[in-house]
Amino acid sequence: MLRHYRTAAGRDGRKASSKPVPPPAPGQAQGLCFTRTEGGKTALLSVFFLTAEDFPYDDYTPGPAFDSGAGYRLDITSDVPGTFTTCEDTF
């Protein structure tokens, strides 16, 4: 899965972060973050892993993927000009 997003992001002209974002918890897989700036705006593509503890809602029970370490989240965000320019600025 990570190989897929690395390849797809590279084809899309995104640059990979030099550090894992957000930093992984001990024993947890490293996530990915990519940036692309176009027309003065920066867009981020983040892929990071979640565990059941990341869901504090009483009425939601995460599926078994989150117990196995295979659950992940994909975010695509854009900045308000001047608020961030790299993945590291957002964490």
Q: What is the pLDDT of residues 29-86, one digit of tens each?
A: 678 888 888 887 888 888 887 777 777 766 777 778 777 777 888 888 887 766 666 7
Q: Who has greater pLDDT, 51 or 91?
A: 51
How many domains in the chain? 1
Q: What token pair was written down for 83?
A: 């608020």
Q: Which domain holds residue 57?
A: 2-90
Helix (H) or strand (E) holding 91: none
- Give the pLDDT of residue 72: 81
Tokens 């593509």: give the residue.
Answer: 45
**What is the Cα–Cα distance from 59 to 72, expressed in whole angstroms?**
20
